[in-house]
Amino acid sequence: MNVLAVDGHSQLKILITGAKGLVGRALVEHCSRSGDEVFAYDHNALDIADARATESVISARRPDAVINCAAWTDVDGCETSPEKAERVNALGPENLARASRNAGALLITISTDYVFDGQKEGFYTQRDQPRPISVYGRFKLEGERGAQEAHARTIVVRTGYIFGPGGKNFLSNVVTWAQRGQKLKAIRDYWGTPTYGGDLAVRLRELAVLDLPGIYHVVSSGDGASFETFSVEAFRLAGLNSDLLEVIDGDSLGRPAPRPRNSRLKCLLSEAVGLSPLPHWQDGLARFISHG
Ligand SMILES: NC(=O)c1ccc[n+]([C@@H]2O[C@H](COP(=O)([O-])OP(=O)(O)OC[C@H]3O[C@@H](n4cnc5c(N)ncnc54)[C@H](OP(=O)(O)O)[C@@H]3O)[C@@H](O)[C@H]2O)c1
């Protein structure tokens, strides 16, 4: 089989960008625990928008795989500063792809469910045509395509609604904020497939071992959830009083960037290449709440 390592326990040389973000941290932890040689670069250590710095770091380290967890994830910020969004989210992956190709490394770059327009009922698969409706989604899609064009040995991992330790987003903080007595607004009419960062990290490494280029949709199992459904489950697991939860319509927030109303993902490839489904998001949430 065409694999970077013969089994999941073999040691890899993995270079991780965005190493201090939600997914980056989980991945550094998982790869280190798996015995890999990990080169972890946070934003300060490597700006992926800087082509020359990217080339120099990757050519010096000569990793087996580069896993890109860096992105500008402020969806509303991207809407109002498109030049920065393009530099980081479109040119960044392309820079990494070129440098990975020159160094003979596999590239895995993370993309988003926001490449879709949200009009579909049901799950988005790789057969669905992306049609981003926000600046963030548009440049993430350009990042996917730029990376694939620059380097054939690229794996694009689309995911969404991620939660886990160190996350800055609503899903990662709903319990902590409620425990501080904060009232929370939970959106009831936007749906995605919640994904536990720890489980995503395990899958990213499995994909590095497999070394089979293509686009993968990687999300926790389950039928998906709205922010309301997710919050209600988080409150239940944490033993919190749901009076703190105010249920609202997403559009009432007047956010600068439009979001897809339904961005639930399913993968056509994972099972075919021998990967089992990730644990259910409620299982991931229970683990997150009980031990971070
Ligand atoms: N969170 C979600 O729900 C979600 C959903 C779909 C897809 N994704 C994708 O998943 C990936 C990981 O996101 P995440 O949730 O871990 O986000 P995150 O917590 O915001 O982490 C992203 C990291 O990238 C760093 N970064 C920003 N600009 C950079 C640059 N120019 N060069 C190097 N590093 C840079 C950030 O550092 P600073 O904070 O110091 O700038 C941050 O540590 C991203 O590709 C994101 O688009 C996330």
Whether pLDDT at 243 is above 90: no
The pLDDT score that the predictor gives to residue 1 is 42
Percent of the chain surpassing pLDDT 70: 96
Average pLDDT, rounded, for the chain:
95
Mean pLDDT value of segment 76-96: 98
Residue 11's pLDDT band (cuts 50, 70, 90): confident
Residue with the smallest CA separation from ligand 1 atom 10 is 110
Residue with the smallest CA separation from ligand 1 atom 24 is 70
Q: In this predicted model, what pLDDT tens digit does every residue of 131-178 receive, in sequence order?
A: 999 999 999 999 999 999 999 999 999 999 999 999 999 999 999 999
Ramachandran area for residue 174 (φ above 0: left; ψ -120 to 50: alpha; else beta): alpha
Pocket lining: 71 vs ligand 1, CB cutoff 6 Å: yes
Please indicate whether residue 136 is annotated as part of the active site: yes
Residues 103 and 164: their CA atoms lie apart, in Å, by 32
Pocket lining: 263 vs ligand 1, CB cutoff 6 Å: no
Q: What are phi and psi of 180, to 5 degrees?
A: -85, 0
The pLDDT score that the predictor gives to residue 5 is 55
Mean pLDDT value of segment 63-79: 98
The pLDDT score that the predictor gives to residue 9 is 54
